[in-house]
A and B are shown apart, each in its own frame.
Chain A
Amino acid sequence: DAGVIQSPRHEVTEMGQEVTLRCKPISGHNSLFWYRQTMMRGLELLIYFNNNVPIDDSGMPEDRFSAKMPNASFSTLKIQPSEPRDSAVYFCASSPGLGGYTFGSGTRLTVV
């Protein structure tokens, strides 16, 4: 198993542009999590899905952020329009439910 796959690894974009981050969870894992990590705020949970259904999106900072999970093998996190304060490392993780998490390598987003 290749683990949790995130793309792109790095993204540099201009303020105002739309950014889409992608995640492929481990096959068979029924929970998927999107996290954001910054120096100032540390690790934060943005949203998580169980069986492709969003369970808690209270961590999504504002309406500019949206996440979808159209099927069990793919999820996206979209920021539109992006702002410099969105610059962070975004991690995706998946879990088989009662077990621990497997994290992707992260996407380092820089908004200039």
Chain B
Amino acid sequence: KNEVEQSPQNLTAQEGEFITINCSYSVGISALHWLQQHPGGGIVSLFMLSSGKKKHGRLIATINIQEKHSSLHITASHPRDSAVYICAVRSTGNQFYFGTGTSLTVIP
């Protein structure tokens, strides 16, 4: 069993749609990260969360520590949002665990 589970694995959306990617984890954490990997391979750190909600432009990340769940939302999706989104957690024991990623394709 993976310590971090993401859903869905693949997601196709029309431009302008509201998108939600989910992440559930089974360990106690000190922080949760959302990463974005573009088709070219580069990885960008989008958010680091330990509680509540963060917003950056059209991206919103939320975390519920009690439920061990985080969501990444994209409002007014755009083809340039097409990427793989990876959830990663740093456990309270300083171990790092990664989800397998959600591949998002936004169609014009």
Contacts and interface: CB of A to CB of B under 8 A. Distances in A.
Contacts, number: 45
B47 interface: yes
B42 A99 contact: no
Interface stretch (B18-26, B63-71, B75-83, B90-98): B90-98
B43 A45 contact: no
Interface in A83-112: 89, 91, 93, 99-103, 105-106, 108
Interface residues of A, number: 20
Contacts of A42: 86, 98-101
A67 B41 CA distance: 23
A12 interface: no
B33 interface: yes
A56 interface: yes
Contacts of A93: 43, 45
Nearest to B93: A56
A43 B35 CA distance: 11
Contacts of A48: 96
A103 B45 contact: yes
B98 A102 contact: no
A100 B41 contact: no
Interface of B: 33, 35, 41-48, 86, 88, 94-96, 98-101
